[in-house]
Chain A
Amino acid sequence: MAGIQLNTLRKIYAGNVEAVKGISIDIKDGEFIVLVGPSGCGKSTLLRMVAGLETITDGELFIGDRLVNNVEPADRDIAMVFQNYALYPHMTVYGNLAYGLKNRSIPKDEIEKRVRKAAEILEIGDFLDRRPRQLSGGQRQRVAMGRAIVREPAAFLFDEPLSNLDAKLRVQMRMEIKKLQKELGTTSLYVTHDQLEAMTLADRLVVLSGGVVEQIGSPIDVYEKPASTFVATFIGSPAMNLLPLAKSGNEWKLDNGATVDVKLNTDLSDLILGVRPEDLVIEELSEKFDSGLHTALTVHVVEPVGAESYVHGTIGEGSVDVVVRAPGKLHFEPGQILKVTAKPEKLHTFDTKSGKRIELEGALETA
Chain B
Amino acid sequence: MKRSQFWDHVVLVLGALFMLVPVVYALMTSSHDAVSIYKDGLQLSPGGHFVDTYKQVLTEAGGFTKSVTGLTMLWNSLVLGLGFAFGKIIISMLAAYAIVYFRFPLGTFFFWIIFSTLLLPLEVRILPSYEIVQGLGMANTYSGLIIPLIASATGTFYFRQFFKSVPDELVEAARIDGAGPLKFFIDILVPLSKTMIAAIFIIMFVFGWNQYLWPTLITTDESLFTLVRGMKQILQVWIGAQIPDTNQAMALAVLAMLPPVLIVVIFQSWFVKGLVESEK
The interface of chain A, by Cβ under 8 A from chain B, is 51-53, 72-75, 78-80, 82-84, 86-90, 99-100, 103-104, 133, 147
CB–CB A103/B192 < 8 A: no
Residue of B nearest to A144 (CB): B173
Residues in A with CB closer than 8 Å to B188 are 88, 90
Residues in A with CB closer than 8 Å to B22 are none
Residues in B with CB closer than 8 Å to A83 are 169
**Residue from B169, B170, B178 with most neighbouring chain A CB atoms (10 Å):** B178
**In angstroms, how far is the closest chain A Cβ from the Cβ of B169?**
4
Residues in B with CB closer than 8 Å to A79 are 176
CB–CB B169/A82 < 8 A: yes
CB–CB A74/B177 < 8 A: yes
Interface assignment of B232: CB less than 8 Å from any CB of chain A: no
CB–CB B178/A100 < 8 A: yes
**Residue from A51, A75, A78, A88 with most neighbouring chain B CB atoms (10 Å):** A88
CB–CB A72/B192 < 8 A: no
Interface assignment of B66: CB less than 8 Å from any CB of chain A: no
Q: Which of A73, A87, A90, A133 contacts B176 (CB 8 A)?
A: A73
Kindly supply a per-residue 1/0 record for chain B positions 166-204, scoring 1 wherever the CB is within 8 Å of any chain A CB and 0 otherwise.
010110111111110001000110011010000000000
CB–CB A73/B175 < 8 A: yes
> Complex formed: what's the CA distance from A78 to B177 in Å?
10
> Complex formed: what's the CA distance from A104 to B183 in Å?
12
A53 and B175 in contact, given A84-B167, A84-B169, A88-B188 (Cβ under 8 angstroms)? yes
The interface on chain B, measured as residues whose beta carbon lies within 8 A of the other chain's beta carbons, has a size of 19
Residues in B with CB closer than 8 Å to A90 are 188, 191-192, 194, 279
Give the A-B pair count, Cβ closer than 8 A: 61
> Complex formed: what's the CA distance from A75 to B183 in Å?
16
Interface assignment of B280: CB less than 8 Å from any CB of chain A: yes
CB–CB B175/A74 < 8 A: yes
Residue of B nearest to A99 (CB): B177
> Complex formed: what's the CA distance from A147 to B173 in Å?
10
Residue of B nearest to A76 (CB): B176
Residues in A with CB closer than 8 Å to B280 are 89
- The B interface, classified by DSSP as helix, strand, loop or mixed, is helix
**In angstroms, how far is the closest chain B Cβ from the Cβ of A48?**
8
CB–CB B187/A86 < 8 A: no
CB–CB B167/A99 < 8 A: no
Residues in A with CB closer than 8 Å to B177 are 74, 99-100, 103, 147
CB–CB B175/A86 < 8 A: no
Residues in A with CB closer than 8 Å to B169 are 82-84, 86
**In angstroms, how far is the closest chain B Cβ from the Cβ of A14?**
11
CB–CB B178/A89 < 8 A: no
A99 and B187 in contact, given A74-B178, A89-B280, A104-B178 (Cβ under 8 angstroms)? yes
Residues in B with CB closer than 8 Å to A72 are 175
> Complex formed: what's the CA distance from A74 to B177 in Å?
6
Residue of B nearest to A104 (CB): B178
Residue of B nearest to A98 (CB): B177
Residues in B with CB closer than 8 Å to A51 are 172, 176
A80 and B173 in contact, given A74-B178, A100-B178 (Cβ under 8 angstroms)? yes
Residues in B with CB closer than 8 Å to A75 are 178
Residues in B with CB closer than 8 Å to A86 are 167, 169-170, 172-173
Q: Which of B167, B176, B178, B192 contacts A80 (CB 8 A)?
A: B176
Residues in B with CB closer than 8 Å to A84 are 167, 169
**In angstroms, how far is the closest chain A Cβ from the Cβ of B265?**
26
CB–CB A82/B178 < 8 A: no
> Complex formed: what's the CA distance from A53 to B192 in Å?
22
CB–CB A89/B176 < 8 A: no
> Complex formed: what's the CA distance from A87 to B177 in Å?
11
> Complex formed: what's the CA distance from A79 to B175 in Å?
11
Residues in A with CB closer than 8 Å to B187 are 99
Residues in B with CB closer than 8 Å to A82 are 169, 172-173
Residues in A with CB closer than 8 Å to B176 are 51-53, 73-74, 78-80, 100
Residue of A nearest to B188 (CB): A88
**In angstroms, how far is the closest chain A Cβ from the Cβ of B189?**
10
Residues in A with CB closer than 8 Å to B194 are 90
Q: Which of B170, B172, B178 contacts A103 (CB 8 A)?
A: B178
**In angstroms, how far is the closest chain A Cβ from the Cβ of B278?**
9
Residues in B with CB closer than 8 Å to A133 are 279
**In angstroms, how far is the closest chain B Cβ from the Cβ of A85?**
8
CB–CB A89/B175 < 8 A: no
